[in-house]
């Protein structure tokens, strides 16, 4: 039985990288967990907050859910760019009107806009200020 986290990351990053406006804003810098120390800003960081599997008889995974925190991060108070990045993240991942359901790597993925809360963070390191803005999104993953 495979773990759903690698597949959910592949799907999530494909959704984000498929947004050409977001790619233009962050220069293709989309990272899982944390960005390399030498990277430049702005960028997007995605972190897996929680996953849940429903296992059936015989160890067959019936479905999984994966919750992700997706944040845009900018340096030195570039608020206009941060707002634009957050807007594009929402456009790529927020599917309140109609869920996105696709087949990816042998599994069916449905992106549900659970947007439980917005996440905002401000931190200062080595004389630079780093602001982030993003949301929590949930994937529903079904084995096919």
Q: At what angle do helices 4-17 and 79-93 cross, to 10 degrees?
A: 120
Q: How far apart are CA 57 and CA 53, in angstroms?
A: 13
For the chain, the helix, strand and coil percentages under 3-state DSSP, each to the nearest 5: 25, 45, 25
Q: Is the dihedral of CA 72, 52, 58, 100 positive or negative?
A: negative
Q: Which residues pair with 132 in a beta bridge?
A: 73, 121
CATH code of 47's domain: 3.30.2000.20
For residue 94, give the nearest of 141, 133, 136 by alpha carbon: 136
pLDDT of residue 114: 47
Q: What 8-state DSSP symbol labels residue 20?
A: H
Tokens encoding 91? 């456009």
Residue 42 and residue 81 in contact, taking contact as beta carbons nearer than 8 Å: yes
What was the pLDDT predicted at 115?
45
Q: How far apart are CA 84 and CA 33, in angstroms?
A: 21
Q: What is the pLDDT of residue 116?
A: 42
Domain extent for 127 = 4-143
What is the count of structural domains for the chain? 1
pLDDT at 124: 60
d(CA 144, CA 108): 6
- Per-position DSSP letters for 55-91, written without gaps between them: E-GGG-EEEEEEEEEEEEEEESS-HHHHHHHHHHHHH
In DSSP terms, 77 is beta-bridged to none
At 117 the pLDDT is: 47
What pLDDT score does 123 carry?
Answer: 60
The pLDDT of residue 5: 62
**pLDDT tens digits for the chain (144 residues)?**
455 666 788 888 888 999 999 999 999 999 998 898 888 999 999 998 888 877 788 877 777 788 888 999 998 777 889 889 988 988 888 765 555 555 545 555 555 544 444 445 556 666 677 788 888 887 777 765
């Amino acid at each position: 039985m495979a773990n759903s986290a690698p597949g959910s990351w592949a799907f999530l990053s494909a959704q984000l990288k498929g947004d050409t406006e977001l790619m233009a804003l962050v220069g293709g810098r989309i990272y899982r967990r944390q960005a390399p120390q030498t990277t430049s800003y702005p960028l997007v960081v995605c972190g897996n907050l929680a996953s849940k599997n429903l296992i059936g008889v015989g160890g067959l995974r019936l479905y999984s859910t994966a919750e992700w925190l997706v944040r845009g991060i900018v340096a030195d108070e570039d608020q206009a760019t941060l707002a634009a990045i957050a807007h594009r993240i929402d456009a790529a991942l927020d599917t309140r009107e109609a869920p996105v359901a696709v087949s990816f790597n042998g599994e069916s993925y449905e992106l549900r806009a659970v947007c439980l809360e917005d996440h905002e963070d401000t931190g200062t390191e080595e004389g630079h200020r780093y602001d982030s803005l993003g949301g929590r999104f949930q994937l529903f993953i079904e084995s096919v």
